[in-house]
Amino acid sequence: MNAFERAQNKAELLRREFLPTWTAVRSAVEDLVGSYNRTTNGQRFPATVRSQAGDRAVIISCVKGLATDAFNNVTIAIKVSALEGEYYEILVVTETWLSRQGHELLQESTSTDKFIFDGDIETQQVWLVSSSDRRLSAFQCAELFLVAALS
């Protein structure tokens, strides 16, 4: 098999396995949020998950209580999207918002993580690659960004 055939076969593998992998990421997010909600912090500040954009995105939100200024509430919003284009990726945007009753929301911080979809045509295995070039399963990917945001 030459380089062109390998590239075409890899593109077909990634296209075929992208939606099942996205479904696994989405399922892992739901399971992990449920697990978080059973912890002490999760019982005080429960997180919710809802689907958006025809099941190609999920939003996790959590009101984390009072900010250090003791006037504003801190809200964490995480949008996880499955994107197809030149390559396949999972895009995670985490936003921290401050709010006070009767006032506008104030965005405190935003972070973005990309997990690129990759695979091996010989073994037919697929995985997600983090920005630090680590190979991750769907569950590990969800765990990485949820633990960072909800802890």
Q: Tell me, what's the pLDDT at 97?
A: 87
pLDDT at position 102: 63
Report the DSSP pairing between strands 106-120 and 89-99.
antiparallel
pLDDT for 27 equals 95
**pLDDT less than 70: residues of the chain:** 53, 68-72, 101-102
pLDDT value, residue 105: 75
| pLDDT at 113 (0 to 100) | 94
Whole-number pLDDT of residue 74 = 80
